[in-house]
Each structure stands twice: as structure tokens, then as C-alpha cells.
Chains A and B, each alone.
Chain A
């Protein structure tokens, strides 16, 4: 019996001994560092800002879907995709406001980028740098990128919430007016300006320069029709510190190929690379290329989800060059039925096999060295190039009543295409502000077709503000027959956002 009691005692001793201390439960995550372990060093700050650039590579933005909003919704493009909902979203038939590809993904990725910028802006000031200027540069980049994304949010949805601090899961931010959003864009850009360089060293080319800041500042002012402020910003390129730093490249096509990137014409350019051939997102080795060409390539080559309205062909053909030939810009802007006849180029090596009234975007396609596309296009996207700056400057001067001075900037762009000066080609324009404006619209289209600026242009010009004007647009793009004034000038906010955030109202008429 004693023996048994002894054994029982042993058992209980064991039991109590084995109820180990409770730090057993502290299991560390072996996979990655935690929030507390980050934002401590210069290298953390650099990685933090880099992660904001990585948002260029995600689906909602310049990797894929935003082109559907900026190019296809405008009168430059359209879609007859067999994916009907995708096509409906380029012709103002918005049924499901949560449609991911048409709306929610872009909304989410814009705010995802803003969240990343906010993390830099909030955390980097607390990090000690050996060179304080470098710290300011990092914060300034974040402010530029935040402004960049709010610029597009303002263009697309207008009345969006302003999130300016790192997010918490329970945040339900207040809706802001378009004016408030523009004010924030201007504020961020103004604050970003001092620390950013006129030009980056070779290792950092691709990051925003003072020129990029000024260009976006001008764009923001112009959308508000604040022409004087826009001029002040653009003066940077003409008379200011940026004068002489930019020029038009000799070959128009060099703006859309991977072979002559970050050239003298480039003001701000998204750096794409085909180094990682996997899916987009936040996983390892995620794609750093763009899908644009895969989605816009002709039927049988790519998804053919978006294509070009052909009206621009007539605009190009209506004016001959000084040598009496066709405007070369047409050649590098579109694939169209007479491309081979006019310039001797096939379409991805094929004869024309598409409709007689069809055209496809050639800018950013890679037909110049391959016959197919994929998801990993390495061709940088030129967000703003100097030609755009010159045309904006001309527009601003014209709106300020300085039409005479405006001519020369349009002429610079025309002369690369070997077109005569406006005064010679269209003498009736003279210094008539209205005629000049109408001409400038065509000049912008011919130079910048398919470069994602048209939607903002139409809005700024007021072409979407009355039924009569919309009818004119609809002559170029019948999708605008569905356009309802006062409603379709902005997208519906994703319905789940409106439903789940009591501080957010759906845009008018939706």
C-alpha cells in the first residue's frame, strides 16, 4: 500500500511539475518582421517608399484596369469585349457598382497606395538619418505619390474621402468635396516640391522630380480651371528651373517603346520591367510589368477588351506634312485597316483581319519585336511627357487670353511631326481664343491619343457638361449616347463602400 501511495504522490508531483510556466504560449512569428520592428532605420524608410511605387504594378492601377477608365471610357476608346460587363463599364452602363474590374479594384488600389504613402509620411519623420536631406526626399516622394493617387481619385469619383494617416481597421472616413480633394492634392505637391531634385542620379531615375511635381500641380489647377496658378506651375518648364531640361525626342515612337525610356521628353514615367514573370500582388516575385498590351491587343493576339475609336484617323489624314506625306504619329498611334498601305507595317506580323471600321491602340504594344503579348510588358508608361507640357502651356496661355503667345508651344509639337506652324496651316485661327481652343483639342488628341489623358481633358473642357456638347462627343463615340449629364461625369462609388461606411454617400443620381 505504501508503495502505491508513493507512486500516486509521484504522479501528482509530475502533474504539477508539468503545468509549466505560461510563457509557453509566446510563439513568435518566424516568417517576417512585425510593425514594431520596422520603421527604425534609413533602409526601412527607403523600402517603405519603394513599396508605394510597387502599387504601379497592381491590377487596379497602371498595371491594368485604370486604362479602361481613362482611355476606354473616353471618346478615344471603347470595348466590345465578349465579357459584357467589362464592356458595359466603358459605355456608361453601370449596373453593379461593386464590379471589381470596372470600379472596386481601382478604388481599392488607389487607397492601398495611399495607405502605403501615409505609412511613410507618418513614420519616416521619427527615423534618424545621417543625411537629413535624404529623409526629406523620401517624405517628399510619398507626398507626391499620395497627390498622384488623389489626382486620379478626383478625376474618376470626385467626392472621395481623404485618408491622410495610416489606417486602422475601423476607419470610416468622411466624404470630401471635390474642392477639398484638389486642395489636398495641391498641398501635398507644394510640400513635396522643395526636397525633390530637378533631376535624379542615374540610380534613382524614375522617382518624381520637381518637374513631375509641377506638372501634376498644373494638371490639378487646370482641372479646376485655375489657369493663372496652372501657368505659374508650368512656368517651371519654360522660364523656371526646369527650362532647358526637357525636349521632344526626335522620333515620336521612342515615347512608347522599352528601348528609349526615361528620355529627354519624359517628365514622369512609370518604370515597368519583365524581371518577374508571375502574377501581380503582394506575394514574392510579383509581376513588375504592365498588362495593358495583353488586354488591348487585337482579337486573336490579346484579350481585345479595349480598342480605339477610328475618328482620329481622319484627323491625322486631313493634314499633310510639309513633305506632303502622312503624319507619322498615325503610324505609331494605331493599328488600323490601311496601316500597311499607308506605312508598310503589318499588325503583329499579320495582315489586317479585323473589321473595316476597327482600330487598335498601337502605343505601348510590343509588335516592334514580337508577334504576341503577355502580362509582363516592360514598356514604361509615360504619365507626362514634355509634349503634353507644351500643349498644356498653350492651353493655359490661351485661356488667360494670351493666344498669340500660345501658338509657339503647339508649333513645337507640330514641328516634330513635320507639320507647318498653326498660323500657316490654319490661318483662320489667328488669335481667336475659341478657334484656338478647338484646334488645340485636336492637337492634343493627335499627340496624346491613348495616353490616358483624354478623360480629364473632356471634363476640363466642359465637353461633358451639356447635352449639346455630349451629343458632339457622341458623334465620335456613340457610347456617349448613354451619357447622362450630371451623372456619368463621375463614377459611382463602389456600393459596398457606401453601404459599409455611413459617412459616405453615393455620387449624385446613382
Chain B
């Protein structure tokens, strides 16, 4: 039955098309009326709707503002309604004229933006929930691989981290961490529920809206707990074909550590060995390798777009092509993408059909090892190449340089990982509008990708004492597909002051992923040509495997929008979701929400000339989430184990349960209240929005750590484990001044967020992960470490450091060792002395966006700042330790009797006592303020460009991440850690890069 489902819908679409194409020609006769619609300055306005009042007869203006329509016989005394977004609707009587010119005046009052709200649109002024709109131009200006990466600082309540590495995808979080299974929001691209991953070309975006509160996101029900980002892609506009080109070319540079060179390294290394009474190693001080020079390079990005678009009053098309290439800042890393999009639509009578389809091929040559850490772990005394080693590369050596760091040049050469995805993504829709007030829409979405991962390892070593491995090749090939069927009916009608919009619908989505993989060892090598044959043909010891995954989501949705006189707005949504990811008895959930707004400024009693808009909003809603694995509720048997047994050691197979499950998994539910106010001053030159929200997530689905005595392995079982609360305040203000030649705007957005754990699973009070504790009543993942208290300066200080009973607390300490706080007073430093020292969550985050233009020049600046987070500097915990050999921070001052005024303990080889990782020594203030983006653009005057047949042209220069103000000593305070419990742990994350770009854009 389910397999026929898609087919049935396609069939139905075809039938519908046949039926409705027969309705053509009904309104064919009548008189012709033509004319021009102009704006307040007298320029032609394209795309203006001109409709004969009370009928469906209408047209829209072309690029020059001209329209032509045929008025049915007997209606030549009718009235034309001329409406255009942002302008006051105008009604004009035809009076038997055949030419009618109309000048529209701007609608001063309207907050004219139309916002896509999911299965429909609303005027921004009618919104009752919390929705942010990001201008696509702001995103497209920035050089970024993914949309998410480009969005930072542009909207309040939206936190973005990551990117930098070729093909890497940024992490985005809307209004805080509302669950423990990952925070990425739902992306809806042209109605298709998907992810805006690196295969998606941000240049195709026409609009982005971020649905932040429960009432706004409720129509997406179970998918929406982390917020929803709705993206629509560009469409052709009425008029002759437009050809547009944009190109950007950028250079990228990596931030760098300041590391010791050989002289300084050797001095401190000898000191550490001497202090520990270990014979010095025989360092080769004639070598001075700068591993950062070896591993890092200047990267670049090329991003080119070409689009062709156009349309008529009943059809439009857009074809856009993109090439994006990124040579990474780490050697042997690369990403490139080719994509092509075709969007089109056509209308005949009451029937509309359209499609938005993109095809892309992305290929990433991925990074091997972690050079960000390895450049620190390798010693400057190690040469890059060493012919004595298998493979010919230098790395640690037992007598001359003991370190297990990986040579990044060696691993880049000897290991090769590539990941390639060919993706087709799009939708096809049909709309039927039998009455002005009724629309039926069928939307069929489909996404499929063909994925190919390959790994090849040449023979040779990259680290000390590495075990022998032959040449190995591994490949996997996979296919992902997701099909979506949506039926919605919208009813929209005004009865006097009362306007109703009713939406009802049903959706079905099926996702499938299948993979096969194979590995071979001893890959064929031709020693004469020194060439490997890295395919799975030759070689031996083959292994193969594969797996399949499938999930289905079935939903029913309904929405009521009610508007009374543009003053009282009410919105109610109900969604019922069923998922295959939960146990059979728990598959269904209902998620209702309500919201309301009062536009006080529309009231007759409201009379504050300065205030042009005032709206109060409130909402409450519930959302579900089942963002877990495919069969997490189902206990399965692992049949992979094999044993050798018997005198002949033949192989027998075993089977057992490895991973535990909780079979009674339920929906995770988010209950969110939102209170907002929208204010406009001075004819909306100054627009302010402030929101306060409380989000409470119950039955959070997560793989909460369980006791190891259960013997569980393969991941912690998913459980409805916790209850979390997020409270936050968001504020945004923009001021826009438009003069004749000089325009400027300034915007600020501010987000504060507090998260709190209300309850944890299995009746527990806390979860300890790494150096963090997650406790009831506290934020997730607070730092739980030993507190240091300076250094001992003398033996007397060691002896006098006693607890209440007079016990010497650190009897074995020597001058220069770290003094720890004995919090429990038991006279010894143990794990029981650990305390909470700060948490990784910022107090507030701030975005500042400034823009100014004068004649053809335009300048933009985006600042982003985050304040108050406490973060763990992982790379420094490697550099500033002396027990294990790695390179040291340049200028580091370990304690010596001669140099006691330092906070760095004495250098001491081979003892972790001074360099333990679980102390507050590595915690730092993670606050920063960063110039994310700055640009200067010049639009070449039309008078010049038109001479060579170009309608418009712009050149620009820009920079990203050029300035950062921070006390954080790591590479980048804006780092990303995917672990929810260890969000603030910088394990050597790939940093944001400085980028310098030039851009060119023109159209004709």
C-alpha cells in the first residue's frame, strides 16, 4: 500500500492537469485595456497586479511597468484594482478607456514584507509569532560554503559556529539548546523538508525566514523543536530574459599559534628532563621545522554564478548555475561544487503548476588527522622528511625526539579521503484555485543523493612506533532518498472586518538510506612507476558490508488565522504527527499552539505621532521531536562476532545483544511561550522588536550516559531522559535613513539565553562527562574541575599548606608545583575536591550591522560578539605541559627558583601531576567581538554600463573575520564543539579563517 502512495499522487496530479486544462478559453472575448503603472518618482513598476474588481481577470506589469488585459464584454465600466507590495492599493474606474496610467503612492504605514510561514505566507504586520527574516543579499555578500555559516550575527536568537574547513558544515542553534540530541533546525527549501547542507548553493536564495517560537514553527510540528529555517529559491520575474552574473574570489588565511623554535624548545625541554632527573634526549638542534608552515597554506575560494530568468504574466523561469571551489588552508584539502537549478512555473486559469529542482555535485578532499593539534605536538627538532623511516617522513624518534604527534605532511600524502555527493533536490507542485477564496495545493518533494566515500592508505608511517599496515583501500557507496507528499487546502475570506484564513492538510515523508562498503588490503603497487592502483580490483583480504535505513513520518495539520480590522490577530495551529522511529504504541503525538497579537497603533484612540507602529504579541505552543535513530526503540542482536575455536582454530560465529534499548520511547515535547513587542518610530525608520521566551522541553530524547556495569556498548541507549528550560530575551533595532544620495542604516541585535536542567533520566541528579557536570538546577555542561591556587614558592609554603586538622595537603609538592584547593578539607587532593567553575554558555551575544551608501558606493559592516562564556583551551593544555613532549608556547615561563614570578608551574618531564587536564588552569574567558564582515561596493553608473549593453554592474571588495577582540589565547574563540555536554571544550577545532575577497556582479 505504501509503495503505491507516491505513484497514486503523481497519477492524480496528471489527472488534475488534464481536467483543468479544459477550462481554458472561458474569458477570451472583451475589450483591451493597457497602461503603465509608475511609482512615486514616475518610474515604471514591474510585477504590479492589475485586477478587474470582483473577477479573476487580471494581469501584472512587465519590467517597464506596462500592463495589458482584456476586460470581458459588459465590464468596460468596471473598476481596476492595482496593488503592489509596499504601496497603497489603488482603485480606478475604467470608464470605457483603453489606456489607463496609474501612479502608486508608497504605503507609509505598512510593514510591507511578506513572510513565508510554512504552507502559506503572511504580511509581516500580521505575524503573531516570533519570526526573523534575513535578507538574502546579506548572506550572498559573504563568502561561505553553507547558508548557516553566512547567517551569523544577522538575526537575534540564532547562534552559528563552525565552518572554515573545506566542505565543512556549520552548526546552527536557534534559541538555545532545547534538547540533547543535536540542535540543528529544520530546513524547508521550497516546501521540501531537507537540510541546507554544503550541496545547496546559497546564491539561489530569494528569501530566508527563521521561525523561532513554538507558535510560528508549530505547523511543522514534530520537526520543528529546534526552530525552522524556511528558504525559498529565486524565481523568474515577468519581463524579458535577464542574465545575471556574480563572481567572488577570495583568499583565506589561517590563524596561527605562536610556538617555540628550536633554541627555546630545547632549553625548556632540557629543563623538564633535568628537573625530573631523566637523561636528556639527544635533540637534533640543527633542525628548526616550522610545522605550521608545513601544514598550513593560503587557501582560496572561487564562487561563480550565472543565471537566466524571465517570465510572462502566466509563467516564469529561472536557470542558475554555480561553481564553488575551495582550496583549503590545510595542505591536501579541497572542496568543489557544481550546481544547476531550474525553477519554473506556469498558470492557466485556476490551475498553476511549477517546479524547483537543483542538481549538484560536491566533492571534498578531506583532512586526515588533526593538523591543528599536530602542529603543536610535533617538535621543531624533527625534520619533515627522514628517509630512514618507512614512507620517508620524519616523526618522533625514541632517542632524538619523543612525541606521538602525527606528521601532517606525511599523513596528507599517505592517507587520502574523498567524499563525493551527487544530489538532486526539488519539488513539483500543482495549485488549483477554483474560487478566489479556496486554494488546493499538491506538493511533491523529492531528494536523492548518490554518495561515494573513498579512503586510500599508502604504505608508510606518520607517527612514532606505528604498527605496520599495508596499502589499504576502502570505499562505500550509498544512496539516500526522501520523498514528500503534501496535500493542503487553504480557505481565505474576509467578512467585513473579519478575515479568516483556514488551512488543512496532510503530509507524508519517507526517508531511505542504503550503503554498501568494501575494503581490500595489500593494494597493488608498481615499484617502477611508484604508482598504486587504489581501486578494489587487485589487493587481497577483501571485506564487505552494508546496511539500510528507513523512516516514515505521517502528519495532519490545520491552521486558523483570524484578523479583525488589522488590529486583533489570532492564530491557532494543530498538528498530529506519527513517526516510525518510536515504538508501536508511542508513534502518534498532537502538537497544538495558539498565538495572538494586538496592533495598538491601529486603534482609533492611538495617537502618538512619533510611533508609527505598535504591536503586542503573545504565543504558547507545543512541538514534538523524534530526532533519534531509526530503530532506537528496538533491541537487536549483533551477529558480527566471530571466534576462533577448536584444534584447527576454525571460525565460528557468535550473536548477542550489544546495545541496550529503552523500548518505551515517547515523543519529546517542547512547550514554549513567547511575548513580543514590535515598535516602529518615525514612519518606521526606527523599528524595534523585543521578545522574551520560556521554552521547556520535556521527555528529552538523548543517549544519556549509563553505568558501564550494564555492559552496554555501541552508544548509550536513547531515553526520554531529561527536562530542560531555556529562557531568553531577544532585542533587535534597526534605523534606516534614506536620503536622495546618502542612505545609511544601523542595526543591532542582542540575544541572552539561560538554560537550566529541570530533570534528568533514570532518576539521576547529574551526569558527568569529561570535565563537565550537568546537574539539576544548573546549565548543561558546567565545568567541574579542581581549582588551582597559584604555585608553591618554597618548601615552607608546601609545609604550611594544611587543612583544619593540620594535615599537610600536598606533602610531595616541590616549589614551583601547583597548589590545588582542598575543597572538602580532607587533607588530600582528590576528585572529591572538584567544583563547578563556570559554564560554557555566553551571557549574551550581539550582532551589529551597519550600512551606508552614497551615490554608487555602498559600505557594509557586520560585527558579532559573544560575552561571558567560560571555555576550555585544549591546545594550550598541550602546549603548556612539560610532562609529555610537544612543542611549547613561545615565551612560556615555567617556574624556576630564578624566575618565580610566573603562573606556569615548573617544567617536569613524565609526571602528569602538574599538567593534569581536569583543572581550572585551562579555562579561559571565551568572550570576543569580531568584525565578521566588511565590504565596500561600487555600482557603476548605468549611463556607463548601458553603453556596453549592461544594465547594472557592481564591483566590491570585502573581508571576513578581519578583526577580533578577545582574551582567549586559542586560535579562535568562535570554535565549535559538537558534544552537547562539552560545548565549550576547544579540542583543536578548525578555526574561522580570515578572508579577503573581490567580487563582480553584472546583469543584462
Residues of A in contact with B (beta carbons under 8 Å apart): 3-4, 7-8, 11-12, 14-15, 18-22, 24-27, 29-38, 44, 46-54, 56-57, 80, 82-85, 87-88, 93, 95-97, 104, 107-108, 111-116, 118-119, 161, 163, 166-173, 202-207, 261-262, 271-273, 275-278, 282-286, 288, 294, 299-304, 372-375, 494-497, 499-501, 506, 510
Contact = CB atoms under 8 A, between A and B. Distances in A.
Contacts of A373: 467-468
Name the residue among A115, A288, A510 with the largest chain B CB count within 10 angstroms. A115
Contacts of B660: 167-169
Interface in B812-858: 830-831
Contact of B635 (A34, A111, A497): A34
Contacts of A97: 831
A85 B647 contact: no
A286 B830 contact: no
Contact of A277 (B521, B707, B769): B521
Contacts of A202: 646-648
Given A24-B554, A83-B404, A53 B645 contact: yes
Interface of B: 1-2, 5, 8-9, 12, 19-20, 23, 350, 396, 398, 402-404, 432, 434-435, 438, 440, 464-465, 467-469, 485, 487, 489, 506, 508, 519, 521, 541, 543, 545, 547-548, 550-552, 554, 556, 578-580, 584, 587-588, 630-631, 634-658, 660-662, 705-714, 716-717, 719, 761-764, 766-769, 830-831, 883-885, 910-913, 916-918
Contacts of A56: 643
Contacts of B656: 47-48, 51-52, 116, 119
Contacts, number: 313
B293 to A, nearest CB: 25
B916 A96 contact: yes
6 tightest Cβ-Cβ pairs between the two chains A and B: A115-B711, A51-B654, A50-B654, A273-B644, A51-B656, A35-B635
Contacts of A31: 547-548, 636
Contacts of B654: 47-54
Nearest to A113: B711
Given A88-B911, A108-B708, A494-B708, A33 B637 contact: yes
Given A27-B580, A111-B709, A294 B642 contact: no
Contacts of A501: 707, 709
Contact of A48 (B655, B716, B885): B655
Contact of A112 (B639, B711, B911): B711
B655 A167 contact: no
28 contacts: A11-B489, A18-B5, A20-B554, A25-B587, A26-B580, A27-B550, A27-B580, A29-B634, A30-B550, A34-B636, A46-B652, A47-B639, A50-B652, A51-B641, A53-B643, A83-B884, A84-B884, A95-B918, A163-B709, A168-B660, A202-B648, A203-B647, A206-B646, A275-B651, A282-B640, A283-B545, A286-B640, A303-B465
A36 B584 CA distance: 15
Contacts of B506: 15, 18-19
Contacts of A302: 465, 467
A278 B635 contact: no
Name the residue among A50, A87, A116, A375 with the largest chain B CB count within 10 angstroms. A50
B813 to A, nearest CB: 14
A282 B50 CA distance: 68
Given A24-B5, A34-B637, 9 more contacts: A24-B552, A50-B653, A53-B643, A163-B711, A167-B710, A172-B762, A206-B646, A207-B645, A273-B651
Nearest to B466: A303
Contact of B467 (A24, A161, A375): A375
Contact of B551 (A27, A170, A495): A27
A12 B656 CA distance: 50
Contact of A22 (B554, B641, B661): B554
Contact of B831 (A27, A34, A495): A495
Nearest to B549: A31
A389 to B, nearest CB: 21
A289 B327 CA distance: 42
B644 A82 contact: no
A19 B2 CA distance: 11
Given A19-B556, A93-B913, A282 B638 contact: yes
A95 B828 CA distance: 13
Contact of A284 (B8, B543, B556): B543
Contacts of A7: 19-20, 432, 434
A262 B647 contact: yes
A176 B9 CA distance: 63
Contacts of A38: 637, 655, 657
B768 A496 contact: yes
Nearest to A294: B467
Contacts of A168: 660, 710
Nearest to B488: A15
B522 to A, nearest CB: 10
A304 B398 contact: yes
A48 B655 CA distance: 5
A491 to B, nearest CB: 14
Contacts of A497: 707-709
A494 B831 CA distance: 11
Name the residue among A95, A116, A271, A494 with the largest chain B CB count within 10 angstroms. A95
A434 B216 CA distance: 84
A499 B719 contact: no
A34 B584 CA distance: 15
Given A15-B487, A25-B578, A29-B630, A88 B912 contact: yes
Contact of B655 (A27, A51, A205): A51
Nearest to B279: A355
A24 B647 contact: no
Contact of B643 (A15, A29, A44, A271): A271
A33 B662 contact: no
Nearest to B464: A82
A206 to B, nearest CB: 5
Contacts of B913: 93, 95
Contacts of A114: 711
Contacts of A26: 580, 584
B708 A304 contact: no
A285 B521 CA distance: 14
Nearest to B704: A169
Contact of B658 (A166, A169, A203, A282): A282
Contact of B634 (A34, A104, A372): A34
Contact of A167 (B350, B711, B769): B711
Contacts of A18: 5, 8-9, 485, 487, 506, 508
Given A47-B639, A374-B468, A277 B541 contact: yes
Nearest to A297: B465
B637 A82 contact: no
Contacts of A173: 707, 709
B641 A50 contact: yes
B712 A499 contact: no
Contacts of B552: 24-25, 27
B52 to A, nearest CB: 19
Contacts of A37: 637
A300 B719 CA distance: 47
Contact of B1 (A3, A20, A34, A278): A20
A54 B918 contact: no
B282 to A, nearest CB: 13
A111 B883 contact: no
A166 B188 CA distance: 44
B886 to A, nearest CB: 10
Contacts of A167: 660, 709-712
Nearest to A39: B637
B298 to A, nearest CB: 34
Contacts of A374: 467-469
A205 B644 CA distance: 10
A302 to B, nearest CB: 6
Contact of B645 (A83, A115, A204, A495): A204
B713 A112 contact: yes
